[in-house]
Structures are given as structure tokens and as C-alpha cells.
């Protein structure tokens, strides 16, 4: 019989996952196939810098997603919602590893601000979860809607020769759109436009700082 985790066990589990997320040491699932299967074109220095900035932002976004889902799962009320959050977090872990791998290929680094963004996202997720599962799921749907728009912008901004980064972003976008629809189908509350605009503003702060740091 599997024993229930104590509060201390839960804290240790969340701290462990958080540290592995921000240090890039989350284990890769063997089921994760790397979508960038095209040959790497010879990118100019300027193109590599541009691509690395975009992929660093995307990697940080996945760090935030891990924090958000882990925080929400800590206060979710139903087993079904926790199961949904766990499945979404697994997809985001896949994206996290893809982005990290691509940054290594581009001879670049992840954001030094990742620990701050992870902690902020975890707290946001935990607080959102306290308002109930419908609000929590609605927050996921609104977040993923913004993420899909953000990925569309990155596809437009990528250097034309960078097919590997493009393949990764395309695969990520398909998963994010699925998360959005899944959260809505699970009964997520539709957020008003004003809240979505506030979320977009917060996301802009993250992207503009992470681009350089």
C-alpha cells in the first residue's frame, strides 16, 4: 500500500523538482523525441545570437510553466485536476529539455533569472489554485492562449535559415494549443479580456529581461 506524503515530504518534493528545473538537471524521458531532425544550417553570428535570444525566452517560459503547474498542483482540490496538471507539466518538461538542448547547439546559455521566475510562477500557481479548480484551469487556458501567440511571433522573428529552432517551436505550439483546449474542456473558467491583458504585460516583462540576461 502506498503511503500518503506528509507536508514535509511534499515540501521536499517541490523543492527538489524546482532545483532540478532551474539548474537544467531534470531527467529526460526516453519517450521524448527531439523534433529538430533537420541538418543544422550554417548560421551567421548575428543569426545565432538572434535564435539564442528567442530560445532562451522559450526556455524561461517552460521554467515558468513548470513552476505554475507545480504550484497549482499543490493546492488543487480534485484528483482529476491534479492528474491534468501532471500531464501538462510532463509536456512542458519535454519542451524545457528541447529548448535547453537547442541553446547548447547554439553555444548559448539559459537565463540567469530562471530561479526568480520559477519561484514567482510557483507562488502564482499556488495562489490561483486556492480559488478553485475551475479558476485554476481557466488560468491555464488563458496562459496557453498567450503562449501560442508568443510562439507565433517567434516563428516570424527566427532567422530564415534556422530550421531546427523552427521545428522545436512548431512542436511546442501544437502541445500548448492542446493544453489550452484540454483545460477548457475540463471546465476552466473563461478569463475576461482585462485579466488576459494584464497577463500579457507580465509575460512581456519576462521576455524582455530574459532576452538579454
Taking 50 as the pLDDT cut, the residues of the chain under it are 1-2
The CATH architecture to which 42-210 belongs is Up-down Bundle (1.20)
Per-residue pLDDT tens over the stretch 70-116: 898 888 888 888 888 888 888 888 899 999 999 999 999 999 999 99
Grid cell locating 17:
523538482
- What pLDDT does residue 28 have? 60
**Residue 69 and residue 147: Cα distance in Å, rounded?**
15
**Residue 122 and residue 14: Cα distance in Å, rounded?**
10
Full-model pTM: 0.85
The residues spanned by each domain of the chain are: 42-210
Amino acid at each position: 500500500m502506498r503511503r500518503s506524503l506528509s507536508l514535509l515530504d511534499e515540501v521536499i518534493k517541490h523543492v527538489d523538482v524546482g532545483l532540478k528545473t532551474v539548474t537544467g538537471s531534470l531527467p529526460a524521458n526516453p519517450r521524448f523525441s527531439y523534433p529538430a531532425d533537420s541538418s543544422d544550417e550554417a548560421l551567421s553570428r548575428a543569426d545565432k545570437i538572434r535564435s539564442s535570444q528567442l530560445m532562451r525566452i522559450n526556455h524561461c517560459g517552460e521554467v515558468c510553466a513548470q513552476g505554475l503547474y507545480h504550484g497549482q498542483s499543490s493546492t488543487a482540490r480534485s484528483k482529476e485536476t491534479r492528474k491534468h496538471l501532471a500531464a501538462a507539466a510532463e509536456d512542458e518538461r519535454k519542451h524545457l529539455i528541447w529548448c535547453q538542448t537547442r541553446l547548447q547547439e547554439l553555444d548559448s546559455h539559459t537565463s540567469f533569472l530562471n530561479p526568480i521566475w520559477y519561484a514567482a510562477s510557483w507562488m502564482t500557481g499556488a495562489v490561483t489554485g486556492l480559488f478553485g479548480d475551475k479558476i485554476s484551469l481557466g488560468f491555464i487556458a488563458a496562459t496557453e492562449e498567450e503562449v501560442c501567440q508568443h510562439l507565433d511571433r517567434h516563428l516570424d522573428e527566427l532567422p530564415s535559415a534556422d530550421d531546427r529552432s523552427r521545428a522545436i517551436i512548431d512542436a511546442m505550439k501544437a502541445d500548448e494549443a492542446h493544453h489550452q483546449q484540454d483545460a477548457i474542456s475540463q471546465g476552466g473558467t473563461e478569463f475576461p479580456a482585462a485579466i488576459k491583458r494584464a497577463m500579457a504585460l507580465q509575460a512581456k516583462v519576462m521576455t524582455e529581461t530574459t532576452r538579454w540576461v
